[in-house]
Structure 1
């Protein structure tokens, strides 16, 4: 007996691409304009966490929107220009390394997204947020989407804007502090970055001193003083 073919795609061949379905559902409920929110820079040892809020134009959505981590630097730059040229609203905000050390990276990421949202000149009636948490203090309802930058084109657009803007900030830091090579690793814990920290120490207001290895080194120094 011949088997009937399945109408389901093979599990491991499935590539999820962001679409506009979440936005359309919100529009049907009268929740428009809608902003996508995302951040870049939660993991690095140095630099700010940067967030973006984007209100796409439903009639002029750039082709190729995706999670910024799945795009090349060249593709991100091209899409960055396309987003700025077509979107109804774009806003960018950040929280510095000092702020991250003061309130922790999760709260700093949410605060950066809140600031980006508040910076939009068109006030959204709804927001889609990448991750598990909704930033407190938004002036509208919001929905958190795990891996939202791979599911929602509005969030994908925000991820691209945030990533490009943060990379540009870190490239500028690289020009100011050439010994650390920020333009090559964007503040992440590469071997080159760790070696530079070992040779030159942490930069005030730029390195996140509550992150390892700084925190570990501080705790070790305190323990040595206590034992002495």
Structure 2
């Protein structure tokens, strides 16, 4: 399906209205996975013309994403990666875990950004960061699109490494599913239960009677918000 290429429109607007000189695009991957970290990339691109074919990572094949990664790493002005572990996600809840991973990514940049473009409508960063949220920013904003590709390829590689090197991870096929739900992943969970790399506050454990006793409860504030219909950015 044809798509409009991303632009620097939001970056230019932030420069004009706020005086921001360094603008970082931020995107995350792994929020809806059952296993592995949530990963955030912060990318600074300036106003240079992007590599051909850059768009939201979800619109690209794995082969195209892999080919784009080294090009983007050389092209961006700077980028930083941040992760929150399954243990941190279980202990803090997803909203706080996303903020932690994003702060780690932003703090990994050589220069603190004057403004941040955050993909989506939910600002999980907040003060003191100056945030502009953009729905589908990974499709419309060049810096966010770059961040989405770097985050996706980097996390996928981490999950593939887990499958090949971590004890007991081979049956879960993390290289193929990156920790997200899949028939093979579900079957492995039913037979072997969760590994040390699984999130134990996730609802998949409700469907596994023999492993349900391992489930951890989310922080009460997030649980209450979910029960009352609040939106905290969860993606199961």
Aligned-residue offset at 1:137: 5.8
Is residue 209 of structure 1 aligned with residue 200 of structure 2? Answer: yes
Q: Whose radius of gyration is greater, 1 or 2?
A: 1
The answer as to whether partners of 1:114 and 1:138 remain within 8 angstroms in 2 is no
Q: Deviations over 1:40-78 (max 9, x none)?
A: 001111000000000003235222221111101111122
SS of residue matched to 2:26: strand
Q: Deviations over 1:127-175 (max 9, x none)?
A: 1001122243665411011111111111111111110110000000110
Is residue 147 of structure 1 aligned with residue 156 of structure 2? Answer: no
* TM-score normalised over the length of structure 1: 0.84
Task: Provide structure 2 residue ranges, at least 5 long, that are not aligned to the other structure.
Answer: 214-236
Give the structure 2 partner of residue 89 of structure 1: 78
In the alignment, the residues of structure 2 paired with residue 87 and residue 113 of structure 1 have an alpha-carbon distance, to the nearest angstrom, of 18
Give the structure 2 partner of residue 48 of structure 1: 37
Give the structure 2 partner of residue 165 of structure 1: 154
Larger deviation, residues 97-106 vs 128-137: 128-137
Aligned-residue offset at 1:220: 9.3
Aligned pairs for 1:62-141 (under 5 A) are 62-136=51-125, 139-141=128-130
User: In structure 2, do the counterparts of structure 1 residues 221 and 35 end up closer, same or farther at CA, with 3 Å as the change threshold?
Assistant: closer
User: In structure 2, do the counterparts of structure 1 residues 156 and 93 end up closer, same or farther at CA, with 3 Å as the change threshold?
Assistant: same
In the alignment, the residues of structure 2 paired with residue 159 and residue 180 of structure 1 have an alpha-carbon distance, to the nearest angstrom, of 25
In the alignment, the residues of structure 1 paired with residue 185 and residue 61 of structure 2 have an alpha-carbon distance, to the nearest angstrom, of 22
The answer as to whether partners of 1:54 and 1:154 remain within 8 angstroms in 2 is yes
Give the structure 1 partner of residue 233 of structure 2: none
Aligned-residue offset at 1:198: 1.0
User: In structure 2, do the counterparts of structure 1 residues 43 and 102 end up closer, same or farther at CA, with 3 Å as the change threshold?
Assistant: same
Q: Deviations over 1:89-144 (max 9, x none)?
A: 10001001111111122321232112111111022111100112224366541101
Aligned-residue offset at 1:215: 4.3
* TM-score normalised over the length of structure 2: 0.81
The answer as to whether partners of 1:111 and 1:135 remain within 8 angstroms in 2 is no
Give the structure 2 partner of residue 182 of structure 1: 174
How big is the alpha-carbon RMSD for the aligned residues of Structure 1 and Structure 2?
2.1
In the alignment, the residues of structure 2 paired with residue 46 and residue 221 of structure 1 have an alpha-carbon distance, to the nearest angstrom, of 16
The answer as to whether partners of 2:193 and 2:211 remain within 8 angstroms in 1 is no
Larger deviation, residues 91-100 vs 75-84: 75-84
Task: Provide structure 1 residue ranges, at least 5 long, that are not aligned to the other structure.
Answer: 1-12, 223-228
